[in-house]
Amino acid sequence: MVTQSDGNPLQKGHDVEANLQSIEADESKPAAPPSGLWGHLCHYGHKVVVAGRIELQGISPIPVKERTVTKTLNIFTLWWSMSCNILPITFGMLGPVYGLSLRDSCLVILFFTLLSTLLPAYLCTLGPKLGMRQMIQARYSWGRYIISLPVLLNLATMTGFSVIIVITGGQCLSAVANGHLSISVGIVIMSILTLIISFCGFTTLHMYERFAWIPAVIAIIVAVGCGGKYLHLQNPPADPPTPQGILSFAMIVASYMIPWACLASDFTTYLVPSTPSWKIFTYSYTGLALPTILLMCLGAAIQGAIPSVPAWSEAYNETLVGGVLQAMLAPAHGFGRFLVVILSFTLLGNLAATSYSITLNFQMLAPVLFKVPRYLFAVILAAILIPVSIKAAADFFDSLENFVSLIGYWSSAFLGVVMVDHLWEKKGDCDRYDLDAWNDASKLPWGVAALTASVASFALVIPSMDQVWWQGPIAKTTGDLGFEFAFVVSGLLYPPLRMVEKKISGR
C-alpha cells in the first residue's frame, strides 16, 4: 500500500527523480515490498502518484520549510471560484419560498453573508502560521479522540453539500440535452470529474481554481443578459414578511457560509508563515462574500419571476435550476446550450475544493485511517456521491432545505468553542500551540469541556429551532434563532468548563 509522504506536493525535477529512486530503493529491500500482483500495482502506483505530482501529504502538519507558496492571490481566486457558480443561485431561490419579496430576500442575503463570512475568513489566517488542517487545529480544544464526533458531522455536512452540487450539475446537463441525457447520468459525469481534481490534491486544486471562475462569470453575465428583461416581473408575496420567514431564510444563508469555517485552513497551510494575516483575511472575505451575495440575490430574483414567465415555469417543473437557466439562455440558441454546460462544470470549483477537504477529514476520523493515502478517499467519496445523489435528486428542494437548515446548529456550536479557545485560551497567539502535540492524546485536552459546552447549548437551541418537523416555543414567536444561540451559548459555557477540565486533568 502507498504510504504517507512528508514531501512537499509542489516538488519538481530532480526532487521527483529522487523520490522515484527512493521508492524503488525501498521496494528493493527484501522485507518491504509485497509480492505478486499487489506488489507490481504498488510499484507502478508509486510512480504514477509521484510523477503525476499527486499530493501525498495527509493530515500531518506541514513543516515550516515546506510552506513556500507566496502567491497569496491564490486564496482569493480559490474562494471566488468556489463561490462563483450556480450553487449560490440555488440557495438564493429559497428566499421567496419563505414568503420574502426580492428586496427582503436581498437584504437578508447581504447582512447575514457579511456577518457569517467573518468566521471562515479569520480561520484562514491560522493555516500558514500553524501548518495544520482546520480540524487538526480543533484538537487543541476538542482533544485527540472526541474530535472524531465533529469530524464525522463535518464529513456529513461536506458530503451533503457535494450531493447538492452534483445534483445541480446533473440537472443542467440533463436540461441542455432535452431529456436525451438523464439527471442520473449527469450526476455520474459530475462525480467522475470531481474525483480527478480532488484525487490530485493541493497543486492541481489551486491551478484549477485560478481559472475556473472566468468561464463562470462570462456564462452568468450572458444568462442575465438574455433573460434579465423578465426579472422585473416579480410575483409579490401575498402577505408582508414575518420574523419567522426572515430568520428562517437567514438560517439558510448562514448555513451556506458558516461550514466553510470548518475547512478554511485546509487551503492555506502551504502559504509562507510570514504572509500578512490582513491580506489572507481580505482575500478570503472578499472572494467568498462578494460572488455569494450577488448570485444569491440573482437566485431570489429568478425564483420571484418564475410564476410570471411561462417558459421558465415549465422548465423549472422539469429540471428545476438547470431548466430555468436553459430557458433564460434560449435566445442564444446553440451558444446558450453550450453556456449551460459551462455553468454546470463551474460547479466543479466548489465541488473539487470540498472533496479535497473530505479526503483529509476521512483520515482524521479514526487513527487507523491515517495510514490510508489521502487520494484513495477521493475514490470512496465518488462511490458514495453517485447513488446518494441519484436518490436525493427525486425531491431536490425538500432535500436541500431540510439538509441545509440542520448544518448551522452543530457547526455554530463547534465553532463557538474553537473561536473562544483560540482567543481566550491561546490569547489569539499561534505561538501558544504546542505543535508537537497535534497527535499525542496525553498532551492535548480531554475535549470533555468542548463537548459539554456544545451539547449543553442545545438546551436553548432546540426551543429556538424552526423546522418542518419541529418548531420550538421560542421560534414560534421570533423565528429560527438556533444557530445564533448555538454559537453564543457554547462560547460562553466553554471557559468555565475548560477551567474545570484543566484543573482535573492537568492539561
Could you report the per-residue pLDDT of 256-269, keeping only the tens digit for each? 999 999 999 988 99
Q: Which of 366, 393, 420 is a domain's end point?
A: 393
With respect to residue 213, please indicate whether it lies within any of the assigned structural domains.
yes
With respect to residue 318, please indicate whether it lies within any of the assigned structural domains.
yes
Q: How far apart are CA 201 and CA 26, in angstroms?
A: 24
pLDDT at 39 (0 to 100): 55
Q: Which of 363, 393, 423 is a domain's end point?
A: 393
Top-ranked range on mean pLDDT: pick from 143-147, 170-174, 194-198: 143-147
Q: Which of 8-17, 98-107, 226-235, 493-502 shows the lowest per-residue confidence on average (mean pLDDT)?
A: 8-17
pLDDT at 37 (0 to 100): 54
pLDDT at 7 (0 to 100): 41
Q: How far apart are CA 329 and CA 320, in angstroms?
A: 15
Specify whether 175 is located in the same domain as 116.
Answer: yes
With respect to residue 478, please indicate whether it lies within any of the assigned structural domains.
no
Specify whether 79 is located in the same domain as 47.
Answer: no
Specify whether 139 is located in the same domain as 46.
Answer: no
Specify whether 44 is located in the same domain as 110.
Answer: no
H-state helical runs in 28-72: 36-51
Q: Which of 116-120, 126-130, 153-157 shows the lowest per-residue confidence on average (mean pLDDT)?
A: 153-157
Specify whether 21 is located in the same domain as 144.
Answer: no
Specify whether 165 is located in the same domain as 36.
Answer: no
Specify whether 121 is located in the same domain as 88.
Answer: yes
H/E element holding 497? helix 482-505
With respect to residue 98, please indicate whether it lies within any of the assigned structural domains.
yes
Q: Are residues 396 and 167 in contact, defined by beta-carbon separation less than 8 angstroms?
A: yes
Nearest partner of 317 among 229, 397, 231, judged by Cα: 397
Q: Which residues partner with 471 through β-bridges?
A: 466
Q: Is the pLDDT of residue 496 over 90?
A: yes
Q: Give this prediction's pTM.
A: 0.84
The pLDDT tens digits of the residues spanning 345-403 come to 888 888 878 888 888 888 888 878 877 877 788 888 889 889 988 888 877 766 666 67
C-alpha cell at 130: 500553524
Number of structural domains (the chain) is 2
The pLDDT tens digits of the residues spanning 228-260 come to 889 999 888 878 888 888 998 998 899 899 999
Q: Is the pLDDT of residue 34 over 80?
A: no
With respect to residue 428, please indicate whether it lies within any of the assigned structural domains.
no
C-alpha cell at 241: 414578511
Q: Which of 345, 364, 393 is a domain's end point?
A: 393
Which residues, other chains included, contact 98 with Cβ-Cβ below 8 Å and sequence gap of 6+?
245, 246, 248, 249
Residue 23, domain extent: 13-51
Q: Are residues 299 and 131 in contact, defined by beta-carbon separation less than 8 angstroms?
A: no
With respect to residue 419, please indicate whether it lies within any of the assigned structural domains.
no
Q: Are residues 337 and 131 in contact, defined by beta-carbon separation less than 8 angstroms?
A: no
Eight-class DSSP state of 50 = H
Q: How far apart are CA 222 and CA 333, in angstroms?
A: 12
Eight-class DSSP state of 3 = P
Nearest partner of 353 among 106, 41, 85, judged by Cα: 85
Hey, what amino acid is at 65?
K
Hey, what amino acid is at 422?
H
